[in-house]
């Protein structure tokens, strides 16, 4: 399990463009690719297919049949309801006003009614808007909250290792993963762990429908981290709660930069220019600093790095 996830993540780490981008911007990674899908592709199809997927080749992106009601359905086990997510988006000062008017909660889903599809104000252009609309007006997505744990070992400030596991809030017994053919007439369920060994703090993760069969929705799952438990090298444990802005930015980021891109059959891998433009758009709503003349890191990530004595993330 861990072996598979780790290897897959190492593959992702070799996407040089993503790494370069991360260093250049100095911002913190807010999510991660569904490593399990990569691992499974590797098992089934060999590295060529994985390389295609990592380079964003849409041919390997699994598209879902268009069934079910449009809207991002909130999972029953989510600690934030559809009403609450929409209420928070509408009252947040960083969410653009033209968008607030289009967002509603209906039957436990986040929706954009057909007669209220948002348009960017005249003379402006939004990279995030179309993919955001694409995801929410499709029947492709579900969302839930998550708790994550980060175990940090080694010696501060620069010889630290991270083990980070994101556990989405799902119903009892439900797991992410997929059944794979393991023999003639034989299928085995392979559970997926949302796992990272990178020195990053994960605030969200978008899991394609190919890993959600136990949820029985035919939808992919957007995962939003609402609690982070960190253990430092001395064994001290501290709990961190992402701020409301961080949670809402992650909701918008995962929906636009990942879910919406996947719905449109477009690559959603970081390093892709369009994905980065969408990310930057949304990051600027929430984290633009006049003093820093750019986007500053997530404050919760900064606090976690301080707690463990890690070097602060590079400034943009």
Kindly list the residues in this chain that would bind Zn ion in the complex (CB under 5 A).
31, 257
Residue placing its CB nearer to Zn ion in the complex, 21 or 40: 21
Minimum CB distance to Zn ion, residue 257 (Å): 5
Residue placing its CB nearer to Zn ion in the complex, 31 or 192: 31
Minimum CB distance to Zn ion, residue 205 (Å): 9
Instruction: Give the 3-state secondary structure of residue 73.
Output: strand
Residue placing its CB nearer to Zn ion in the complex, 160 or 296: 296
Minimum CB distance to Zn ion, residue 24 (Å): 16
3-state helix, strand, coil in the chain (%, to 5): 40, 25, 40
Question: CA distances (Å), 301 to each of 185, 269, 306, in order?
Answer: 47, 22, 9
Residue 247 φ/ψ, nearest 5 degrees:
-65, -45
Residue placing its CB nearer to Zn ion in the complex, 21 or 75: 21
Instruction: Report the distance separating Cα 305 and Cα 245, nearest Å.
Output: 19
Minimum CB distance to Zn ion, residue 306 (Å): 24
Residue placing its CB nearer to Zn ion in the complex, 31 or 140: 31
In the structure encoding, which two tokens stand for residue 25, read together?
């911007």
Minimum CB distance to Zn ion, residue 97 (Å): 25
Under a CB-based contact definition with an 8 Å cutoff, are residues 262 and 256 in contact?
Answer: no
Q: Which residues have a Cβ under 8 Å from the Cβ of 171 and sit 6 or more positions away?
A: 75, 76, 77
In the structure encoding, which two tokens stand for residue 85, read together?
């997510």
């Amino acid at each position: 399990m861990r072996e598979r996830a780790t290897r897959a993540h190492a593959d992702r780490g070799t996407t040089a463009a993503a790494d370069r981008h991360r260093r250049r911007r100095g911002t913190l990674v807010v999510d991660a690719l569904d490593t399990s899908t990569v691992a499974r592709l590797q098992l089934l199809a060999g590295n060529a297919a994985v390389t295609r997927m990592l380079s964003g080749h849409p041919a390997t992106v699994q598209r879902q049949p268009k069934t079910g009601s449009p809207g991002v359905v909130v999972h029953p086990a989510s600690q934030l309801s559809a009403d609450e997510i929409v209420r928070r988006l509408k009252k947040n000062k960083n969410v653009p006003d033209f968008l607030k008017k289009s967002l509603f909660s209906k039957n436990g889903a986040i929706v954009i009614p057909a007669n209220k599809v948002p348009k960017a104000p005249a003379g402006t252009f939004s990279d995030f808007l179309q993919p955001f609309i694409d995801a929410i007006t499709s029947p492709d997505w579900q969302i839930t909250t998550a708790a994550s744990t980060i175990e940090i070992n080694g010696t501060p400030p620069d010889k630290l290792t991270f083990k980070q596991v994101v556990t989405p809030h799902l119903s009892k017994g439900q797991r992410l993963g997929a059944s794979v053919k393991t023999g003639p007439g034989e299928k085995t369920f392979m559970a997926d762990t949302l796992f990272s060994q990178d020195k990053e703090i994960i605030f969200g993760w978008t899991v394609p429908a190919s890993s959600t069969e136990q949820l029985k929705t035919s939808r992919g799952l957007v995962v939003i981290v609402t609690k982070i438990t960190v253990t430092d090298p001395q064994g001290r444990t501290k709990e961190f709660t992402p701020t409301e802005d961080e949670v809402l930015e992650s909701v918008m980021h995962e929906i636009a930069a990942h879910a919406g891109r996947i719905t449109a059959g477009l690559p959603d891998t970081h390093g892709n220019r369009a994905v980065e433009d969408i990310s930057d758009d949304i990051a600027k709503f929430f984290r633009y600093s006049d003093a820093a003349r750019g986007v500053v890191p997530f404050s919760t990530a900064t606090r976690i790095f301080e707690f463990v004595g890690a070097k602060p993330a590079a400034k943009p």
